[in-house]
Chain A
């Protein structure tokens, strides 16, 4: 069975600073995909960034980047130049292959402080 663990229930960061959210996972598959989703109070689940396990290069999307350590089964999210609009719940998620359900962590509540 696949598991995703987020060990930081809550974090805060000053506006314009950098913050890193942690995620570890477990799967017996060699090919899988990892995601970070943002969920603001509106409850809409928004995809922030994705990483294919077969790719060694860490994914980046503007201010968001990941540190993917396959051997350690670690997948952290770095948010640079934090903005007030980044305040939300952040979920790490894993899927083993196409057309299978996502397995989510419990989430990290991020607060960006002005």
Chain B
């Protein structure tokens, strides 16, 4: 079974630029999460999707972050404009019915 795919693996941008990350879930996993992991900390939820609907985006800085999950499969996370404090690893995780989550390899974003 293929795992969760994420791209790109690395991205370096200047502040105020925009960036997009992509996540392809494991086939059949209806629930998808985006987590932000700042260096030295554990991952924190940004947004949760159930199929193509948003379940929880209370921690998403909506003035600069946006996310979508068209057709309930792939998802994209966008930052516009980026700030220095957005430098982090962005992890996508997907979940079948139940409680176990499967993580992608993450995207390391550096904002200079």
Contacts and interface: CB of A to CB of B under 8 A. Distances in A.
A85 interface: no
A47 B106 CA distance: 15
Interface string A72-114: 0000000000000000000101010111111011110000000
Given A43-B89, A44-B103, A98 B97 contact: yes
B33 A101 contact: yes
Chief secondary structure at chain A's binding surface: loop
B41 A45 contact: no
A98 B41 contact: no
Contact of B99 (A4, A44, A91, A98): A98
Contacts of A100: 48
A97 B100 CA distance: 10
Given A43-B106, A47-B100, A50-B100, A102 B89 contact: no
B40 interface: yes
Contact of B41 (A33, A50, A97, A107): A107
Contacts, number: 58
User: Counting chain A CB atoms within 10 Å of each CB, which of B42, B103, B105 scores highest?
Assistant: B42
Interface residues of A, number: 22
A42 interface: yes
Given A44-B105, A99-B95, A104 B31 contact: no
Interface string B19-45: 000000000000101010000111111
A28 to B, nearest CB: 18
Nearest to B9: A43
A45 B56 contact: no
A105 B105 contact: no
A107 B37 CA distance: 11
A93 B31 CA distance: 18
B15 interface: no
A43 B31 contact: no
Given A43-B89, A101-B45, A106-B40, 18 more contacts: A4-B42, A33-B99, A43-B105, A44-B104, A44-B106, A45-B93, A47-B100, A98-B99, A99-B31, A99-B55, A99-B95, A99-B97, A101-B35, A102-B45, A104-B43, A104-B44, A105-B42, A107-B40
